[in-house]
Structure formats: structure tokens, C-alpha cells
């Protein structure tokens, strides 16, 4: 699993885009592996994989919708850009501005 504990001493960042990017660059894993580690495997590590972590019938609909990108493999290498167009939390679109 990939995650951040936002530790001010050693990891002063809660930016999961940065964590996924770093995993691809430093751990030499593919974007597919990094996204899987941050979603499905992250949910499993937290004990919530029955309701979160993947897009399946019966699970929570917590999704991000990106602006047009070449492929999802592009995401880890564009961590400095905000490619999120919309967010869905528990099946409802989240309409607050995303920072």
C-alpha cells in the first residue's frame, strides 16, 4: 500500500499525487501498480476493502474525474498539476472548490 501519514518530521506532505509519483520514480513501479497500491491496497491495509478501494457494485462511490489526459499512466508524472475536474464522495458530486 502507498500512503502518507503527514509526518512533519520526515514526510511533511499529505499529497497523494506526490506519493504515487515518488513510488513510480524511486521504487520503479509502474503507474498501474502505484495507483493500485494507493487505492485497492490502501483500502485493504486500513481494513475497509469491502466498501472502498475499487469500483464495484455495492462499494462506496468515491471517485475523481480528471480533465482530459492521454492515459491514467500520465497521472503519476504530472503531480504538480491539478488534473482533477470533479470529485464524487459517497455517490454525490462534491461542489466545493478543490485546492
- Residue pair 36/73 in contact (Cβ under 8 Å)? The answer is no
- Residue pair 31/75 in contact (Cβ under 8 Å)? The answer is yes
Label residue 80 by pLDDT band (50, 70, 90): confident
- Residue pair 38/14 in contact (Cβ under 8 Å)? The answer is no
C-alpha pair distances (Å), 14 with each of 7, 18, 52, 58:
9, 8, 19, 28
pLDDT tens profile 44-56: 999 999 999 999 9
Q: What is the pLDDT of residue 13?
A: 77
Q: What is the pLDDT of residue 88?
A: 93
Supply the mean pLDDT for the chain: 87
Amino acid at each position: 500500500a502507498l500512503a502518507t501519514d503527514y509526518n512533519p518530521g520526515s514526510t511533511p506532505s499529505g499529497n497523494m499525487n506526490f506519493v504515487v509519483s515518488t513510488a513510480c520514480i524511486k521504487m520503479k513501479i509502474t503507474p498501474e501498480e502505484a495507483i493500485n497500491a494507493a487505492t485497492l491496497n490502501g483500502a485493504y491495509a486500513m481494513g475497509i476493502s469491502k466498501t472502498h478501494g475499487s469500483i464495484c457494485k455495492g462499494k462506496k462511490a468515491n471517485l475523481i474525474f480528471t480533465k482530459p489526459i492521454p492515459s491514467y499512466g500520465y497521472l503519476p508524472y504530472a503531480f504538480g498539476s491539478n488534473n482533477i475536474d470533479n470529485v464524487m464522495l459517497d455517490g454525490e458530486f462534491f461542489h466545493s472548490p478543490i485546492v
